[in-house]
Amino acid sequence: QVQLQESGPGVVKPSETLSLTCTVSGGSMSSYYWSWIRQSPGKGLEWIGYIYFSGSTNYSPSLKSRVTISVDTSQNQFSLTLTSVTTADTAVYYCARLGVAGELFDYWGQGTLVTVSS
């Protein structure tokens, strides 16, 4: 059974950089797309972007200028970097696996709350 676990700081100061890592266990990263999604408090789901196991990426246009997703398959991890954060970036951040076609989220982490506050 594939499992994903997010890790990283729970609080980030405005204008600084948010960095999260997702550790994948119970399966290989090969042939899959690995994604980040966020959910602002009491709000809906927003797709941030994905990275293919080989390293190619696709980002949401609304965040593209501030987002970088990277992968380290030797460590079974992928990471999210979001620069110049504001309070609007406060959210629960989920990592998730997209199926081989890059369409459906079939495994999710439990999520980690990141609060942007001074």
Partner 1 sequence: AIQLTQSPSSLSASVGDRVTITCRASQGISSAVAWYQQRPGKPPTLLIFDASSLESGVPSRFRGSGSGTDFTLTISSLQPEDFATYYCQQFNSYPLTFGGGTKVEIK
Partners of 71 in the β-ladder: 78
Binding partner 1 by CB under 8 A: which of 7, 60, 73, 76? 60
Report the chain's terminal Cα–Cα distance, integer Å: 39
Binding partner 1 by CB under 8 A: which of 36, 94, 114, 116? 94
In angstroms, how far is CA 60 from the centroid of its own chain? 12
Rounded-to-integer distance, Cα 46 and Cα 62, Å: 10
Q: Does 47 bind partner 1 (CB under 8 A)?
A: yes
Of 12-20, 53-61, 65-73, 80-88: span binding partner 1 (CB under 8 A): 53-61
Q: Does 106 bind partner 1 (CB under 8 A)?
A: yes
